[in-house]
């Protein structure tokens, strides 16, 4: 039941991220509120301390990635995406959260590769910035072609809800 609520929150975040490349803070606050309510009514089997630890172990490294890449003027991940991964980590086990992060990175890298203009394909190996979440600088405008992570995280989460995820995750355990 609570995973359906997370699916709705991720859908809302994906919509905003797709349209504006920004995820509103209220989506994250609602996710945190739902996590607290789930723990109070014992709907979730994960205790609140474990949920908070999972969120911290996902949020802190991604926040460091966001901070470092922002300081060097290359935003590898947005702050809203960092918070969204932290909220998702409240509801699922830590290992599954890292697998969702891995799937999101792989899918976003593939999307970034598809966004490359055919004439820029060989030049991408000179600029390895596509590896983390955002794509290749465009030929005409020299700006990064951003890939919204909200919709990609939603796709990875839907895959998490399917029985195929158990086959995929059993390979990594």
Q: What is the largest CA-CA distance in the chain?
A: 56
Query: What domain count does the chain have?
Result: 1
Indicate whether 107 pLDDT > 70. yes
Do 134 and 145 touch, CB atoms closer than 8 A?
yes
The position carrying tokens 């995750």 is 169
Domain that holds residue 61: 2-172
Comparing 121 with 60, which gets the higher pLDDT? 60
143 band by pLDDT with thresholds 50, 70 and 90: very low
The pLDDT value given to residue 16? 93
84-100 pLDDT tens trace: 999 999 988 888 888 88
Q: Residue 132: pLDDT band by 50, 70, 90 thresholds?
A: very low
Which tokens belong to 88? 């998702």
Residue 41 pLDDT exceeds 60 = yes
CB 14 within 8 A of CB 23: no
Q: Which two three-digit tokens encode residue 9?
A: 């929150």
CA distances from 55 to 31, 97, 125, 169, 171 (A): 12, 9, 34, 20, 24
Are 104 and 93 in contact by the 8 Å Cβ rule? The answer is no
What is the value of pTM for the model shown?
0.77
The Cα-based distances of 84 to 53, 63, 72, 95, 99 in angstroms read 15, 11, 23, 17, 15
**In the prediction, which pLDDT does 12 show?**
94
C-beta separation of 54 from 40 below 8 A: no
């Amino acid at each position: 039941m609570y995973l359906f609520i997370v699916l709705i929150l991720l859908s809302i975040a994906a919509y905003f991220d797709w349209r504006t490349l920004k995820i509103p803070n209220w989506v994250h606050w609602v996710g945190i509120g739902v996590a607290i309510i789930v723990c109070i009514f014992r709907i979730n089997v994960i205790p609140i301390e474990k949920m908070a630890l999972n969120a911290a172990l996902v949020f802190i490294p991604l926040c460091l990635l966001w901070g470092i890449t922002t300081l060097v003027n290359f935003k590898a991940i947005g702050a809203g995406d960092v918070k969204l991964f932290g909220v998702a980590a409240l509801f699922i086990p830590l290992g599954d959260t890292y697998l969702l992060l891995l799937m999101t990175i792989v899918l976003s890298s593939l999307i970034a590769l598809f966004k490359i203009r055919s004439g820029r394909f060989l030049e991408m190996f000179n600029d390895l910035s596509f590896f983390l979440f955002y794509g290749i600088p465009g030929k005409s405008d020299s700006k990064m072609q951003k890939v919204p992570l909200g919709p990609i995280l939603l796709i990875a989460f839907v895959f998490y809800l399917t029985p195929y995820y158990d086959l995929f995750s059993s390979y990594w355990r």
